A = this chain, B = another copy of it.
């Protein structure tokens, strides 16, 4: 029995340390990662992936924590994957938040994992989806994913989650500006968190007005995550939404679109890797210098040289 077989067996058996190790290997993207993923493939069951996105400080992590508690209370095994670099899960936030999360982190049946993507130069969608497959194969009933929203992380929540909640706060200016600037991704549900703020009803109405399309109103809910208010309604809405998507075939369509995004990211990553690895070849450099010395501008040199890249990518 190979080390990989043993690790995969332990992951499927629910061993948390093995799971953490398997994820680290998959994140690193080595050839071992490929072995792990292909051995886990037949154990992937396609369980719900619920995404939470929104600006830093909107309370996503607290909301996820409460959501996790709710699911756990219903006897479900929950994994949380935080891709937000400012998330308390990733250690980037204030102590208060981190303390709030401890009750979840240390509870049985909830596995929390953070992924650092800042500075990762692409292909993040593919890494995230690989990790999601590992979590699914490891037997979690629900996977909650947290991202910081467009422009803040290198992955769109819609590319990795089946159902998406966009979390904003009653701080009108920020939220409305974020929508106008296209900084909010497309949600199935919009959550006005910190709804004990007097402006929350106004913001909820604004969201409904701004996001209505052809008579169809968006789903806008209000929560006070710190006190757990509105969490059950949010959870039930998201789970109902997932079931509905599954019934009407939209879930399958979304996952196909995610696979397209993943394949595109992997292709991009192959080309990036090839270019980074082989552009230091002496022969390539000599050729670029020769063309430059002939008076060709860099753009034209690039055009001349780019056919090499396919040879490079096939050498990977």
Q: Does the CB pair B266–A302 fall under 8 Å?
A: yes
Which B residues are CB-close (under 8 A) to A288? 259-260, 263
User: Are A306 and B271 also in contact (CB < 8 A) when A266-B298, A292-B256, A298-B266 are?
Assistant: yes
Q: Does the CB pair B129–A298 fall under 8 Å?
A: yes
Which B residues are CB-close (under 8 A) to A292? 256, 259, 263
Which B residues are CB-close (under 8 A) to A271? 268, 271, 275, 306, 309
Which B residues are CB-close (under 8 A) to A303? 270
Can you name the residue of chain B whose Cβ is closest to the Cβ of A272? B268
Q: Does the CB pair B310–A263 fall under 8 Å?
A: no
A103 to chain B, nearest CB (A): 33
A residues engaging B (CB < 8 A)?
34, 37-38, 41, 119, 121-122, 126, 129, 151, 256, 259-260, 262-264, 266-268, 270-272, 275, 279, 285, 288-289, 292, 297-299, 301-303, 305-307, 309-310, 313
Task: Kindly state the separation between the CA atoms of A260 and B270 in the bound complex, as whole angstroms.
Answer: 20
Which B residues are CB-close (under 8 A) to A309? 267, 271, 310
Task: Kindly state the separation between the CA atoms of A129 and B297 in the bound complex, as whole angstroms.
Answer: 12
Name A's interface SS: helix
Q: Does the CB pair A270–B129 fall under 8 Å?
A: no
Task: Kindly state the separation between the CA atoms of A263 and B297 in the bound complex, as whole angstroms.
Answer: 9
User: Are A302 and B272 also in contact (CB < 8 A) when A38-B297, A297-B41 are?
Assistant: no
Task: Kindly state the separation between the CA atoms of A297 and B275 in the bound complex, as whole angstroms.
Answer: 24
Q: Does the CB pair B267–A302 fall under 8 Å?
A: yes
30 A-B contact pairs sorted by A residue (CB < 8 Å): A37-B297, A38-B297, A41-B297, A119-B151, A121-B122, A256-B292, A259-B289, A260-B285, A260-B288, A260-B289, A263-B288, A263-B292, A263-B302, A263-B305, A264-B275, A264-B279, A266-B301, A266-B302, A267-B302, A267-B305, A267-B309, A268-B271, A270-B302, A270-B303, A271-B275, A271-B309, A306-B310, A306-B313, A309-B310, A310-B310
Task: Kindly state the separation between the CA atoms of A38 and B272 in the bound complex, as whole angstroms.
Answer: 28
A125 to chain B, nearest CB (A): 10
Which B residues are CB-close (under 8 A) to A275? 264, 267-268, 271
Which B residues are CB-close (under 8 A) to A285? 260
Which B residues are CB-close (under 8 A) to A306? 267, 270-271, 310, 313
Task: Kindly state the separation between the CA atoms of A305 and B122 in the bound complex, as whole angstroms.
Answer: 18
Which B residues are CB-close (under 8 A) to A268? 271-272, 275
Q: Does the CB pair B310–A307 fall under 8 Å?
A: yes
Can you name the residue of chain B whose Cβ is closest to the Cβ of A268? B275
